[in-house]
Structure 1
Amino acid sequence: MSQITQSLDPSTDLSPTAGLPASLPDHTQLPDSDGNFVKNFQEPPEGDLLTDCITPILQQLHPDGQYCIGRDCGIYWRMTEPPEPPEKGAEAPDWFYVPDVPPNLNGEIRRSYVLWKEFVAPLIALEFVSGEGTEERDKTPKKGKFWVYERAIRIPYYGIYEVKKAQVEVYQLVNGRYQLMPANERGHYPIEPLGVELGIWQGVYQNQEWPWLRWWDIGGNLLLTAEERLEQERQEKELAQQRAEQERQRAERLAEQLRALGVEPEV
């Protein structure tokens, strides 16, 4: 198991299994939706962009394929009791990544991520703000997103992205509490276990121009989408062909000059 795995301690007071029977519901027995729909047209492409660019990095970190990415999927962190519905014991980040867990369970698509069945917390969770950001910063004990991610699930990195303000706040879990990370000289936030940086990129993606949340490598190079990589390869091939053609034309001109001097280039 890799060093980036964050395990939950089932003996702590906030453990989802504390005082509960061994036969607990799994992802097939818990609701996978609370009836809400995506709040705007920018959120689905943002999730696509983050996943597309980080996939080559994750494939290098996990050659065995043991990782999963969740998008608007419930992370069940506590059991509820009637009349409280089960989904009240879950939070659904807009995007999150969990290391060292299988992408599916026994050949079944994950319906949710159940902590009391896997004990591995996500390494990073990202929320895309549609309103004023109060929900994403809510520290109300046992209810607020911020509190749940920090105190219950204990996600090492938590990012709050506000497209309207073209900014992202990134928090790191230090001694059990979130601390706001300072940006580096490039205005990015290093996610050291992944060897990447998180920041804002202004551009067009899926026919929409916005200040998008994107990844860079640790040297500050933008991590490209699959389409961008293909376009880069096409441009590099085209440039190589242009250089080869220029070299061929230069050689022909030199040969003509030699012939004008009575010298055969082949000789």
Structure 2
Amino acid sequence: MHMRPGTGTLKLTTFRRRIDAFVHWANTEADRCGLTGETIPPDPLGNIGTARFRRSLAWHIARRPNGLVALAIQYGHLRTAISGAYASRGRGGIHELIDIETVRAVADTVADVHDDLQAGRGVSGPAARRAIKASATAPRFAGTVITATTAKRLLVNEDAIIYDNPHALLLCHYKRGTALCHRDGVKDAPSLDHCVPGCGNIVRTDRHAIQLRERANALDRAASHVPQPVGTRLRANADRLRAHADTHDRTRITLPEDAP
């Protein structure tokens, strides 16, 4: 039986047509729902190509709620010692874009910590003092052009990198030697989907304390509508979250008043 070359794979022309169809569908849905700010603008350089699509995909993964958790699960292995060869087979450089957008998202997190501290808010946790020191890198991040080479260099700089984990309501100032999220050896990036209470890399902010209590209240409300065994577990989780918030309030540290 004769097989056409390339069967089973998407050619660039087909991929571009599908991207155009997706843009048309997305804009139609945005108009239908009255969300004009969500439409995809025309590309001044022509039709949206695969390069812009990959970068948009990486940007949105990194900045969605739990986006870095998704990166850790789906793309984390691309930054390990396995090498980039695996990524180059069919991913077309997406691993480099993921590194770039991860660093940009991390830079946003560091900037948020910096702004919170400057506003008099506090941080707590085993890595709180390290996070305060790392927040001083925020101005340096702001002036850095992030390329694939820059991203790789920054991702291995444990002193400057702080990962956000909104699912666990904490920050991770990752340090390989003290990380508890890896059971199969030391890695270059945290497994944000396996955060372990008591890890030496944990940092919490005043915002996290507020969110912990909000989530605890939501669990208490849910507990009143489920059978007793499930309700008991939900209330226990709520108590645990409030305990984390109380610990933050007792141990939080702030910048000295004369700090620059």
- Tell me which structure has the larger Cα radius of gyration: 1
Shared fold, TM over 0.5: no
Identify which of structures 1 and 2 has the higher relative contact order when contacts are C-alpha pairs closer than 8 Å and 6+ apart.
2
Q: TM-score, normalising length from structure 1?
A: 0.25
Q: TM-score, normalising length from structure 2?
A: 0.26
More helix by share: 2
More strand by share: 1
